[in-house]
Chains A and B, each alone.
Chain A
């Protein structure tokens, strides 16, 4: 088991390197960089006093070096103007727009991003599991039809539109603002029980909004997997031996059907994280989503680059956890030391 965990974590290193290179390439795509754009703007307006300062900044952030060198400096594998000082050393870069280190700009939003995403994953597990079992064991019942129908709509309704519509109706019917992270009176207040409850209350709607399509997909998958198993011979054998229906279900078919279920959640995580980014923008939740949009619009490259990387790492960790869970549940993977992907 330990061997498997170590192997699985080591496998993430090359993946991370490729992803970081890809992300750095994407954020460097726009022509010029933040500072040279500012220099151009200053020059065109005839000001030249602060150009020297900006030129100094360009060197300071080694924006004048070739691409690969810039990338390696960003990651921290190459000495920059201040020696090795990159992501690996814990320096997340500098936000030009806010004139602050990236750490300070998005630091407060990170815990909420993590909490929101894991709450959503938990929501998907907790809701789709019982409903999937119900739908499979009572196939073609009214409940099954109802959930299938709901599932179709959940799958097709785009989450950020759902968020928009919900915002509108909550506002209209209850005069309630479901946007934001907490009720306005708690902002800038010290943490208290009421404030925590308010935050929790505001997390419910976004969690449901982000998780709906994933839940719908998982219900369909679990139902199909379980139905496949329920029609197999060993179930009939178990029943003939006189096993109670519940015992039979939990003991064999469910254990078989649960593996693809957990593996699928791993595949679902990227789209959940995607959803959380845009739903946060719509519902103005203070996660990395709104910051990312602003950073991309103002070409604040180190800020947007770090957020993209953070989001990617979040999905990788999510997939890692689901792989480890799979290994715990499935002795074939645990003992074989191979991940079934």
Chain B
């Protein structure tokens, strides 16, 4: 039976047909931006996410600049780390000037005249306004052995011929503070890296076997971690480094210290590895790999390890500052490195007596780079930690 279709009153609506062919996947199609995101590797996404954390990026840049001092300390520092100037004991910092008598000279320092104050028996240094000593750049100055291998005398910046350039003053024996800081960066900054490397190895090992085997091994390691974490770190560091034989050379003491710093730091990392391993083991992709017949070795290295490498890097970055501080504290207390080795803690050792510091405040100069580096590592670590989970 058919029915008459009654025409609706009013204007007839034109029937529109889209000429483009029908695509059933249209709702799942992505913009170019999304496409790029979903096709990027995990590390690329992390990098994008990290870049958004402006402070962390800048901290990274600052740290790279600091770490340039490690290979090139000899070139950057105007003086040797232990070279003494017996004419300038406790000399104050010489500020850099640009103008002399109203005319531009370029960067220069005024020479210093010195005399002994007979009442306090201290050297008193005064700027000599007539003695203009322009700084030299890319010059040949104090001789050194580059990396202990080649004789060289090239410096980025040197004092004028026969002049001085103590931008941060000198210490008790007339050693330049700035050069000390630059050479000190070499030990202070690497102590954390080597220490963290040791702590990562230990942490991965103990955390890995605890997380993988479980059972009584797990609970044994858990107990050990708990006990180690309940101990105050610094006194133990002090006791351990006091046990390093005094007869050791500075190089051996340095390695001994890094091992000590790493030995007490691994529990935190091991705990992170273990909990991450336990949670990743339950992930669906890990289960899928096991069901498809992957061997444990393949599951761990191909599926689990990439999942928490980023976390390990982030938490390792966050534990570097505590190691740098540990070295500084130990050397400051005379329990760590000693001259002729130079680190920031060794330099601070000169500032132990507060009455000396009150008279010669520039002895506290190492405090500044330490705080900057520690702060930068903290920001960088924060940024890395946020980026470590890019899919969140």
B217 interface residue, CB < 8 Å from A? no
Q: Is A167 an interface residue (CB 8 A)?
A: yes
Q: What number of B residues sit within 8 Å (CB to CB) of A?
A: 38
Find A316's partner among B230, B233, B239, B240 (CB 8 Å cutoff).
B230
Cross-chain contact of B227 among A15, A273, A275, A307 (Cβ < 8 A): A15
Chain B positions 356-392 with a Cβ under 8 Å from a chain A Cβ: 357-358, 361, 364, 367, 370-371, 374-375, 378-379
Q: Which residue of B lies closest to A158 (CB)?
A: B325
B243 touches A29 (CB 8 A): yes
A18 close to B (CB within 8 Å):
yes
Instruction: Indicate whether B40 reaches chain A with its CB closer than 8 angstroms.
Output: no
Q: A26-B239, A267-B229 are in contact. Are A179 and B354 (CB under 8 A)?
A: yes
Pair B243/A30 contact, Cβ less than 8 Å: yes
A158-B371, A277-B235, A312-B232 are contacts. A18–B227 as well, Cβ < 8 Å?
A: yes
**B residues 219-268 in Cβ contact with A at 8 Å:** 226-227, 229-236, 238-240, 242-243, 245
Q: Which of A153, A315, A316, A341 contacts B375 (CB 8 A)?
A: A153
- Pairwise interchain contact A277-B234, C-beta atoms closer than 8 A: yes
B236, B243, B335, B374: the one within 8 Å of A156 (CB): B374
B110 in the interface (beta carbon within 8 A): no
Q: Mark A8-22, 1 if CB is under 8 A from B, else 0.
A: 000000010011001
Instruction: Determine which of B236, B239, B333, B378 lies in contact with A155 in the assembled complex, contact meaning CB atoms within 8 Å.
Output: B378
With a cutoff of 8 Å between Cβ atoms, the chain B residues found around residue A18 in the complex are: 227
Contact B364 A311 (CB under 8 A): no
Chain B interface main SS type: helix
Interface centre among A164, A281, A297, A304 (most CB of B within 10 A): A164
Contacts of B242 in A (CB 8 A): 30, 296-297, 299, 304
Assess whether A274 is in contact with B334, with CB atoms less than 8 Å apart.
no
Verify if B50 is at the interface (C-beta below 8 Å from A).
no
The answer to whether the Cβ of A157 comes within 8 Å of any Cβ in the partner chain is: yes
- The residue of chain B having its C-beta at the shortest distance from the C-beta of A272 within the complex is B232
- Does any Cβ of A come within 8 Å of B269's Cβ? no
Asked if A165 meets B364 with Cβ closer than 8 Å, knowing A26-B239, A179-B354, the reply is: yes
Contacts of A157 in B (CB 8 A): 371, 374
The answer, yes or no, to whether A27 is at the interface (CB within 8 Å) is: yes
Q: Is A319 an interface residue (CB 8 A)?
A: yes
Chain A residues closer than 8 Å to B374, beta-carbon distance: 156-158
Q: Are B371 and A308 in contact (CB under 8 A)?
A: no
Minimum distance in angstroms from A88 CB to a CB of chain B? 20
Residues of A contacting B325 in the complex (Cβ-Cβ under 8 angstroms): 158
Instruction: Please tell me if the beta carbons of B334 and A297 are within 8 angstroms of each other in the complex.
Output: yes
The one of B354, B378, B379 in contact with A167, judged by C-beta atoms closer than 8 angstroms, is B354
Give the distance to chain B from A226, nearest Cβ to Cβ, in Å. 20
Judge if B328 is at the interface, Cβ distance under 8 Å: yes
What 1/0 flags go to B315-343 for Cβ under 8 Å of A?
Answer: 00000010001001100111100000000
Q: Please tell me if the beta carbons of B357 and A168 are within 8 angstroms of each other in the complex.
A: yes
- Least Cβ distance of A215 to chain B in Å? 16
Tell me, in angstroms, the Cα distance from A157 to B232 when the chains sit together.
Answer: 19
- In the complex, whether B75 has a CB less than 8 A from a CB of chain A is no
Which residue of B is nearest A156, CB measured?
B375
Question: Do residues B333 and A293 form an inter-chain contact, with CB atoms below 8 A?
Answer: yes
Q: Assess whether A278 is in contact with B354, with CB atoms less than 8 Å apart.
A: no
Chain A residues numbered 27-53 whose CB sits less than 8 Å from any CB in chain B: 27, 29-31
Tell me which residues across on chain B come within 8 A of A23, comparing CB atoms: 239
Tell me, in angstroms, the Cα distance from A27 to B239 when the chains sit together: 7
Q: How far is the CA of A321 from the CA of B231 in the complex (A)?
A: 16
Please give the distance in Å from A332's CB to the nearest CB on chain B. 20
Complex: how many Å from CA A299 to CA B36? 63
A165 touches B358 (CB 8 A): no
Within 8 A of B (CB), among A239-298: 267, 270-271, 273-275, 277-278, 281, 292-293, 296-297
- B77 on interface, CB distance cutoff 8 Å: no
Closest to A290 in B: B333
| CB pair B231 A312 closer than 8 Å | yes
Task: Say whether B351 faces chain A, with CB atoms less than 8 Å apart.
Answer: yes
- The interface centre, meaning the residue of A156, A171, A270, A273 with most chain B CB atoms within 10 A of its CB, is A156
Note all chain A residues with C-beta closer than 8 A to B243.
Answer: 26-27, 29-30
Pair B364/A164 contact, Cβ less than 8 Å: yes
**Within the assembled complex, what's the spacing in Å between the Cα atoms of A316 and B230?**
7
Residues of B within 8 A of A165 (CB): 364, 367
CB distance from B326 to the nearest CB of A (A): 10
B236 near A26 with CB under 8 A, answer: yes
Nearest A residue to B240, CB-CB: A26
Query: Which one of B226, B231, B354, B357 contacts A315 once the chains associate, using CB atoms below 8 Å?
Result: B231
Residues of B with C-beta under 8 A to A281: 333
Q: Are B232 and A274 in contact (CB under 8 A)?
A: yes
**A126 interfacial by beta-carbon distance below 8 Å:** no
17 A-B Cβ contacts within 8 A? Answer: A15-B226, A19-B230, A26-B243, A30-B245, A156-B374, A158-B325, A158-B370, A158-B374, A167-B354, A168-B357, A171-B358, A277-B232, A277-B238, A281-B333, A297-B242, A304-B242, A319-B230
Other 18 A-B pairs with CB < 8 A, given A158-B328, A171-B354, A311-B232 = A19-B230, A19-B231, A27-B239, A31-B245, A152-B375, A158-B329, A160-B329, A165-B367, A172-B361, A270-B230, A271-B232, A273-B232, A277-B238, A292-B235, A297-B334, A308-B236, A316-B230, A341-B226
Q: Which residues does A use to contact B, with CB under 8 Å?
A: 15, 18-19, 22-23, 26-27, 29-31, 152-153, 155-158, 160-161, 164-165, 167-168, 171-172, 177, 179, 267, 270-271, 273-275, 277-278, 281, 292-293, 296-297, 299, 304, 307-308, 311-312, 315-316, 319, 341
Residues of B within 8 A of A (CB): 226-227, 229-236, 238-240, 242-243, 245, 321, 325, 328-329, 332-335, 348, 351, 354, 357-358, 361, 364, 367, 370-371, 374-375, 378-379
